[in-house]
Amino acid sequence: MLAFLLRRVLLLIPTFIGVTLAAFFFIRLLPGDPILLLAGERGITPERYAELATRLGFDRPLYEQYFAYLGNLLSGDLGVSFSTKRPVWDEFFTLFPATLELSLAAIIFAVVLGIPAGVIAAVKRGKAPDHLVMSTALVGYSMPIFWWALLLIIVFSGWLQWTPVSGRISLLYFFPPVTGFMLIDSLISGQRGAFNSAVQHLILPTIVLGTIPLAVIARQTRSAMLEVLGEDYIRTARAKGLSPLRVVGGHALRNALIPVITTIGLQVGVLLAGAILTETIFSWPGIGKWMIDSISRRDYQAVQGGLVMIAIVVMIVNLTVDLLYGLINPRIRHRR
Amino acid sequence: MPLLEIENLTVEFATVNGRFKAVDEVSLTCDRGEILAIVGESGSGKSVSMLALMGLLPWTAKVTADRMSFDGTDLRGLSGRQRRRIVGKNMAMIFQEPMSSLNPCFTVGFQIGEALKVHLGLDRAERRKRTIELLDLVGIPAPEARLKAFPHQLSGGMSQRVMIAMALACKPKLLIADEPTTALDVTIQAQILDLLVDLQREQGMALVLITHDMGVVAETAERVQVQYAGQKVEEQPVAGLFDDPHHPYTAALLAALPERATSRRLPSIPGVVPGQFDRPSGCLFSPRCRYTTERCRERVPHRQGAMAGFALCHYPLVQGRPIGHPAPNRIANAAEEPA
């Protein structure tokens, strides 16, 4: 198990270097000069431009810039954002809880609905519930995120007026962030109605962000269940006289979850990509929205820092999934 | 009254190409404490008829029977819940592939204990005690240490022992063993068979042994039922069957035993069991039988009486000679000169 863990961790090193390379060079491939964008419409004199370029290190060769960046990164320095003049590290961790809260809500939504839906579809294979689940999943998977978000906003915020359109909490409430998680902070603040408001704000973004993972998890669960239900050990379980609930929910699901957990882990990457769109649509002050803003400002440091941090989060999640995999599947746990 | 009584059991599967009869009016009885062997090639409906009894067939199967009673209970028309009170408790089954018949995600102790919990309501400590007893009973060394083992840590023979322990958990009155030794090494096969017979005697339970191995039948069974293409073709006590088989199929199976071979090459039965699309109109065995006549190809045979082993044949064999056959001396490819 320890060797397994060590191997997984060592594999992260080349991945990490790849991510820094991609982050560093791709943002520089984009047309647009950060110094000109920073200066805005006032314009800038050539002397001032040269001075800024020197200060930001843009006058040095690209590979030198990269190694300087990598060196800083390894000592934990993500650099300073051009536009806000604040350390990227601080910016990221101010906004990250908002994204984390939304992503967690979305993945919980997707898992809690997706696994039972997949199980029901598999058990009722070829019958109405199966067709319902599978066609809904297909629609959910193919629906463009922005379109789905607009649709929900029109119906639930516009016509029905059940949910707010944007933000994390109503402007009526204000309290200093403690954990950065709005649901927890609103409870801590003790202000009446604050928690309800936070929940209401969370509903639509959660649905929007969770829809694709939901569809993927439901489909994956169904196919994994169908495979497992045909196994000999399911016949054994039924021959023991166990109830269908024990056979399906105990013996079959436990085995079917093995591939499903891998899928859930992979969905975290999809989720963070989806968060960028979802946060922009709902003006959710998380890293997704921050990344979009930073890209349009050509804020190299912020974009690089953000990408690297997101990559680290995804890598940690995948590592956790690998470990979880061993926990649920004894065959892997015992493999040397 | 016999423990198990099945009359005219028919199992049909709905397939894309219409209905397929896997079991065709099979009748079967088994007394308390008796060992009954069901013999036949692959595809003769042995397993399917027993799975039908256990209620383990998929929903595409349609099961009908004139009678299907176990221990005085009519199994036909039982609700799932009622059937589950019998299945796994009074009537248990073990399977051909022990390695894949155990759930890879759960420990041996849990899987055996589950039956004890569901049927007998034993608490954790009682389950542990009884599970250790059971593992000991089936000859697993260091049973306490094995409780925490996962199936992938066991060999095939060990897995089958665990399966047997699981089946015996609630002291069943009937154990159905579906080719329990087919997937095992030859040396292990004998051990598992001995174990089954010993346990059957000790526990006084009935044993239905499904097999295609006549050698296994000779060693263990008291009574034998031969099935072919979903039909019962012969039924006899084991000694009588080996002495004087009445159905040509039985005779051909016995002739294929290495111990009985008279020439250097083992005789075999040409052809395969008919499937969904090549079912003959008369006797189902007629395309492969040495004694086939026009009558065999055209007319479905009647069942003979007890004297002729209830053989489903127009010309049942007596001491190797087909009775009533129009030309008993001019039979093609005789056994003495195998193909």
For residue B278, give every residue at least 6 positions away whose Cβ sits within 8 Å of its Cβ, in sequence order, or none: none
Q: Which H or E run contains B109?
A: helix B108-115
Question: Residue A68's closest CA among A302, A310, A301?
Answer: A301
Could you report the per-residue pLDDT of B57-103, keeping only the tens digit for each? 888 888 999 999 999 889 888 888 898 999 989 999 999 888 999 99
Q: Which H or E run contains B22?
A: strand B18-30
- At residue B90's C-alpha, the angle toward residues B84 and B93, to 5°, is 80
- Does the pLDDT of residue A25 top 70, yes or no? yes
Task: Judge: A331–B150 Cβ closer than 8 Å, yes or no.
Answer: yes
- Does the pLDDT of residue A149 top 90, yes or no? no
Task: Judge: A236–B103 Cβ closer than 8 Å, yes or no.
Answer: yes
| Number of domains composing chain A | 1
For residue B282, give every residue at least 6 positions away whose Cβ sits within 8 Å of its Cβ, in sequence order, or none: B295, B296, B297, B298, B299, B300, B301
When pLDDT is averaged across residues B230-249 and rounded to a whole number, the result is 91
Domain-embedded: residue A280 = yes
Query: What local confidence, expressed as pLDDT, does residue B336 receive?
Result: 44
Which of the four CATH numbers 3.30.1510.10, 2.30.36.70, 3.40.50.300, 2.40.170.20 does domain B30-52+78-226 have? Answer: 3.40.50.300
When pLDDT is averaged across residues B207-212 and rounded to a whole number, the result is 91
When pLDDT is averaged across residues A122-132 and rounded to a whole number, the result is 91
Query: What local confidence, expressed as pLDDT, does residue A220 receive?
Result: 94
Question: How far apart (Å, rounded) are the C-alpha atoms in residues B17 and B276?
Answer: 9
User: Which residue among B89, B95, B118 places its CB closest to the CB of A236?
Assistant: B95
Residue with the bigger pLDDT between B153 and B337: it is B153
Could you report the per-residue pLDDT of A93-119, keeping only the tens digit for each? 888 888 888 999 999 999 999 999 999
Task: Judge: B150–A254 Cβ closer than 8 Å, yes or no.
Answer: no
Query: What local confidence, expressed as pLDDT, does residue B335 receive?
Result: 44
Dihedral angle, C-alpha A213, A217, A223, A226, nearest 10 °: -160
Task: Judge: B84–A237 Cβ closer than 8 Å, yes or no.
Answer: no
Looking at the DSSP bridge assignments, the partners of residue B61 are: B13
Residue with the bigger pLDDT between A44 and B51: it is B51
Quote the DSSP letter at residue A80.
B
Domain-embedded: residue A217 = yes
Query: What local confidence, expressed as pLDDT, does residue A178 receive?
Result: 75
Question: Residue B120's closest CA among A244, A235, A240?
Answer: A240
> How far is the alpha carbon of B151 from chain A, nearest alpha carbon, in Å?
9
Q: Which H or E run contains B94?
A: strand B91-94
Q: Of B103, B111, B153, B160, which to mutate for an interface test with A (greatest number of A Cβ within 10 Å)?
A: B103
User: Which residue among B85, B153, B163 places its CB closest to the CB of A241?
Assistant: B85
User: Which residue among A235, A255, A328 places its CB closest to the CB of B56?
Assistant: A235
User: Which residue among B88, B92, B102 places its CB closest to the CB of A233?
Assistant: B102
pLDDT band (50, 70, 90) for residue A1: low
Secondary structure of residue A158 in the 3-state scheme: helix
Task: Judge: B106–A254 Cβ closer than 8 Å, yes or no.
Answer: yes
Question: Residue B52's closest CA among B268, B254, B185, B208?
Answer: B208
* For chain B, percent of residues with pLDDT exceeding 70: 96
Question: Residue A62's closest CA among A14, A13, A29, A33?
Answer: A29
Contact A330, B151 (CB under 8 A): no
- Does the pLDDT of residue B332 top 70, yes or no? no
Question: How far apart (Å, rounded) are the C-alpha atoms in residues A73 and A92?
Answer: 14
pLDDT band (50, 70, 90) for residue B206: very high
Q: Which residues of A touch B118 (CB under 8 A)?
A: 240-243, 246
Residue with the bigger pLDDT between B315 and A188: it is B315
pLDDT band (50, 70, 90) for residue B278: confident
Task: Judge: A255–B104 Cβ closer than 8 Å, yes or no.
Answer: yes
Question: Residue A191's closest CA among A179, A174, A203, A176?
Answer: A174
> How far is the alpha carbon of A324 from chain B, nearest alpha carbon, in Å?
14
Task: Judge: B103–A233 Cβ closer than 8 Å, yes or no.
Answer: yes
Question: How far apart (Å, rounded) are the C-alpha atoms in residues B315 and B249?
Answer: 12
Could you report the per-residue pLDDT of A196-249, keeping only the tens digit for each? 888 888 989 999 999 999 999 999 999 999 999 999 999 999 999 999 899 999
Global ipTM: 0.86
What are the backbone angles phi and psi of residue B178, rounded to the nearest 5°?
-95, 100
- Does the pLDDT of residue B338 top 60, yes or no? no
Q: Which residues of A touch B80 (CB under 8 A)?
A: 244
Give me the amino acid identity at A234: I
Question: How far apart (Å, rounded) are the C-alpha atoms in residues A279 and A206?
Answer: 10
Task: Judge: B103–A254 Cβ closer than 8 Å, yes or no.
Answer: yes
Tokens of B242: 């080996």
Domain-embedded: residue A265 = yes
- Residue A252 belongs to a domain with what CATH number? 1.10.3720.10
Tokens of B16: 């894309």
Query: What local confidence, expressed as pLDDT, does residue A70 receive?
Result: 86
User: Which residue among B92, B103, B163 places its CB closest to the CB of A251?
Assistant: B103
- Does the pLDDT of residue A17 top 50, yes or no? yes
Contact A234, B97 (CB under 8 A): no
Q: Can you list the alpha helix ranges (DSSP code H) found in chain A?
A: 2-29, 34-39, 46-56, 62-74, 88-123, 128-142, 145-152, 182-189, 194-229, 232-239, 244-245, 253-281, 287-296, 300-328, 330-333
User: Which residue among B84, B97, B152 places its CB closest to the CB of A241?
Assistant: B84
Residue the block writes with tokens 């000169």: B337
Q: Which residues of A touch B93 (CB under 8 A)?
A: 239
Domain-embedded: residue A205 = yes
> How far is the alpha carbon of A76 from chain B, nearest alpha carbon, in Å?
42
How many residues can be counted in chain B? 339
* For chain B, percent of residues with pLDDT exceeding 90: 39
Secondary structure of residue A104 in the 3-state scheme: helix
Tokens of A194: 């604050």
> How far is the alpha carbon of B52 from chain A, nearest alpha carbon, in Å?
11
Contact B310, B232 (CB under 8 A): yes
Task: Judge: A233–B150 Cβ closer than 8 Å, yes or no.
Answer: no
Residue with the bigger pLDDT between B293 and B260: it is B293
Q: Which residues of B touch A238 (CB under 8 A)?
A: 55-56, 87
Neighbours of A165 (CB within 10 A): 14
Question: How far apart (Å, rounded) are the C-alpha atoms in residues B15 and B119?
Answer: 35
Could you report the per-residue pLDDT of A258-277, keeping only the tens digit for each? 889 888 888 887 888 788 88
- Does the pLDDT of residue A125 top 80, yes or no? yes
- Does the pLDDT of residue A255 top 80, yes or no? yes
Q: CATH 3.40.50.300: which residues of chain B? A: 30-52+78-226
Q: Of A233, A243, A253, A329, which to mutate for an interface test with B (greatest number of B Cβ within 10 Å)?
A: A233
Contact A168, A98 (CB under 8 A): yes
Domain-embedded: residue A74 = no
Domain-embedded: residue A65 = no
Domain-embedded: residue A120 = yes
Give me the amino acid identity at A280: T
> How far is the alpha carbon of A246 from chain B, nearest alpha carbon, in Å?
10
> How far is the alpha carbon of A172 from chain B, nearest alpha carbon, in Å?
52
Question: Residue B222's closest CA among B21, B34, B33?
Answer: B34
Residue A240: closest CA among chain B residues belongs to which residue?
B88
Give the structural domain span for A213: 92-299
Average pLDDT, chain B: 87
What per-residue string of b and e applies to B174-195 under the rule 16 or more CB within 10 Å gives b?
Answer: bbbbbbbbebbeeebbebbbeb
Contact B150, B99 (CB under 8 A): no
Average pLDDT, chain A: 85
User: Which residue among A232, A254, A329 places its CB closest to the CB of B95?
Assistant: A232
- Does the pLDDT of residue A152 top 60, yes or no? yes
Task: Judge: B97–A235 Cβ closer than 8 Å, yes or no.
Answer: no
- Does the pLDDT of residue B339 top 70, yes or no? no
- Does the pLDDT of residue A69 top 60, yes or no? yes
Question: How far apart (Å, rounded) are the C-alpha atoms in residues B21 and B230?
Answer: 7
When pLDDT is averaged across residues A159-167 and rounded to a whole number, the result is 83
